[in-house]
């Protein structure tokens, strides 16, 4: 294993990508990068990482910022629980650790939003603590090298890969070693069409020698995809619109949204006009529909949203609308964190009206 480790780290030193979070030993910046890169591509992550650090340069600035500002900086990345957990953890570090990240794996993993992988990454890269990182890339690399036939989602599979990763770990330079293993998975040992012929460790790879690349790692059966049908109402009243913050345990928690009617199936506008929520929101008052968007499909993990946006004007406000939503100036809408789906529809509306969206 020592030879394998040396070859891997030598390859990494020559081939690693020039990424901004690799130029710092700041636990805050490393933690931020690891959270950002969950469910986010590296190319997209770089832009958000740099912008986020410019807006919140240290844990103190992040901790004292309003949640809405954090969500706004995160807008477009999705998986907003990550942003909420960043904010919570920043406040804990300021309040309980005087703004200094704990140089301890167990303390790190106890923080909100920090699991085994993130705790190991921060501990090893920022503090040189000898703990092995196991993410999707590492699992794939080690499953192929050692011929592990256990599914990645199984407890037995996770335990076996963690055992192998720990045995392989260079305890003198754990951060560099962990990054080397992850980089191999990101650049060479890809899920599909891996570059086995140029892999520095192909001489010991079980999957390569046995021609089992497609079979390893063992894949699990994917869960079904849920379809949802959203109808958003952009209701204008005297140059104002109505929004509310999502508070239920569902997608986009804490983000703001336009009045929403969700139906079980796709429905035509004529049928939606008879929906009880539509009737409640307008309560017999007159409205003028200016534009109905085409259906916008938006893919989330295990969910496909089919959304339609109705742009309307009213001359009076119903009690239900006034009670359930807040009324804001139209131009202030962009100050509120919203989903990418809503942002996409608002841009579409601006294009239709031939006005700028900033």
The residues annotated with a catalytic role in the active site are 34
Which residues 6+ apart lie within 8 Å of 126 measured at CB?
25, 26, 27, 30, 31, 101, 103, 175
Distances (CA, A) of 61 to 26, 58, 93, 122, 225: 15, 6, 12, 20, 39
What DSSP state is assigned to residue 264? S
Contacts of 109 (CB under 8 A, 6+ apart): 115, 116, 119
Phi-psi region of 259 (alpha: psi -120 to 50; beta: other; left: phi over 0): beta
Integer angstrom CA distances of residue 176 from 1, 25, 132, 299: 16, 12, 11, 35
The SS3 call for residue 350 is helix
CB 30 within 8 A of CB 101: no
| Contact between 168 and 5 (Cβ < 8 Å) | yes
Number of helices followed by number of strands (H, E) in the chain: 16, 8
* Phi, psi dihedral angles at 308 (to 5 degrees): -130, 140
Asked if 259 contacts 236 with a C-beta cutoff of 8 angstroms, the reply is: no
Q: CA 179, CA 6: separation in Å to the nearest integer?
A: 13
- Over the Cα atoms of the chain, what is R_g? 25
- Residue 67 Cα to chain centre, angstroms: 16
């Amino acid at each position: 294993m020592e030879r394998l480790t040396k070859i891997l780290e030598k390859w990494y030193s020559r081939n690693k990508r020039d990424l901004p979070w690799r130029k710092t030993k700041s636990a805050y910046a490393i933690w931020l990068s690891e959270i950002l890169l969950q469910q986010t591509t590296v190319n997209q992550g770089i832009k958000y990482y740099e912008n986020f650090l410019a807006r919140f340069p240290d844990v103190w600035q992040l901790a004292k910022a309003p949640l809405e500002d954090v969500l706004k900086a995160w807008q477009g990345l999705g998986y907003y629980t990550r942003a909420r957990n960043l904010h919570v953890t920043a406040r804990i570090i300021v309040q309980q650790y005087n703004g200094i990240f704990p140089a301890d794996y167990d303390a790190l993993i106890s923080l909100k939003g920090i699991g085994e992988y993130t705790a190991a990454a921060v501990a090893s890269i920022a503090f040189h603590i000898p703990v092995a990182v196991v993410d999707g890339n590492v699992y794939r690399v080690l499953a192929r090298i050692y011929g592990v036939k256990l599914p990645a989602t199984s407890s037995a599979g996770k335990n076996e890969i963690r055992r192998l990763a720990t045995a392989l770990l260079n305890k003198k330079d754990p951060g560099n070693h962990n990054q080397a293993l992850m980089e191999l998975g990101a650049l060479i040992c890809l899920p599909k069409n891996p570059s086995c012929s140029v892999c520095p460790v192909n001489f010991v790879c079980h999957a390569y020698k046995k021609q089992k690349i497609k079979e390893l790692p063992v894949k699990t059966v994917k869960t079904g995809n849920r379809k949802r049908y959203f109808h958003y109402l952009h209701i204008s009243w005297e140059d104002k619109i109505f929004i509310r913050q999502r508070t239920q345990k569902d997608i986009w928690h804490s983000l703001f949204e336009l009045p929403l009617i969700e139906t079980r199936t796709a429905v035509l506008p004529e049928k939606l006009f008879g929906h009880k929520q539509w009737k409640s929101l307008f309560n017999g008052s007159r409205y003028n529909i200016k534009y109905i968007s085409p259906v916008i499909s938006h893919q989330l993990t295990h969910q496909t949203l089919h959304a339609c946006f109705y742009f309307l004007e009213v001359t009076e406000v119903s009690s239900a609308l006034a009670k359930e939503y807040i009324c804001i100036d139209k131009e202030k809408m962009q100050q509120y964190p919203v989903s990418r789906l809503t942002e996409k529809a608002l841009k579409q509306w601006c294009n239709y009206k031939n006005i700028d969206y900033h």
